[in-house]
Amino acid sequence: YSSYLHNMELFNEQKKVPIIYIYQFDKDFCVMLLDEVYITRDNTAFTRDNYLGFLKSFSSFCLNHNYLTKNPTEGISSLGRRGKKKIRDVINEDLLKKIYGYLQETNSHFLLASYILYYCFVRPAEMTRLRLSNINIEKQTLYLEDTISKNRKDGIITLPSKVISLMVDLNIFSYPNDYYLFSDGFKPGSKKRSEKMFRDYWAHYVRKRLKLPEKYKFYSLKDTGIDRKSVV
């Protein structure tokens, strides 16, 4: 259970709603945590249900020891192995152009992150673990180690010329090879950052400044890229 507890602590820290007292462990917290695991972090229904199983076990422990008088997980159902189909909102061409123009003018490093999500389908959590050593500029490839990728398998991704060109323009390869690709300010650095920085910047700046509907998340760029590729 230590892994689940650690993730719960990270969730509390990111949400800035730290649980200090046991009564704060309620249904609202459980629902938010499960949504974070399944929707925001794009884990499988199986993973989400594993978290629910832990929450149910922990709730039973608290009830048996009179730490709680009500089960926080009551009424929360499992999704099952197949899970429910996630509703993805694809960003239309006009909005993509607006996003590109805005980021090109205001934050080219975040534009690079958007490119990698859109063209290469690399998830935000994976992007935070990327180092410059994972990029082969001569072969124009990105190497995802098994310790980085979500499916725990090695993989090599071809980087489009547009992505490589932006990296060169941003002098990405002038930084030490062991630097993370996205650190403070979305620039290369020695400090590993949380994937939350991508979502926060998207919500507080991109979506807000461009007045995009809330249904469009940063992760929507990946879904849009996949949709465009399937059409082609």
Higher pLDDT, 186 or 36: 186
Using the predicted structure, report yes or no on whether residue 79 has a pLDDT greater than 90. Answer: no
- Distance, in Å, from the CA atom of 220 to the CA atom of 94, rounded to the nearest integer, reads 15
Q: What is the pLDDT of residues 179-220, one digit of tens each?
A: 999 999 999 999 999 888 999 999 999 999 999 988 898 989
pLDDT of residue 173: 95
pLDDT of residue 20: 64
pLDDT of residue 190: 96
Using the predicted structure, report yes or no on whether residue 18 has a pLDDT greater than 60. Answer: no
Higher pLDDT, 20 or 201: 201
Per-position DSSP letters for 78-132, written without gaps between them: P-TTT-PPPP--PPPHHHHHHHHHHHHHH-HHHHHHHHHHHHH---HHHHTT-BG
Q: How confident is the model at residue 88 (pLDDT cuts 50, 70, 90)?
A: low
Most confident region among 21-30, 37-46, 107-116 by mean pLDDT:
107-116
Q: Which pTM value belongs to this model?
A: 0.67
Higher pLDDT, 126 or 38: 126
Q: Looking at residues 109-134, what average pLDDT do you find? A: 94
pLDDT of residue 189: 97
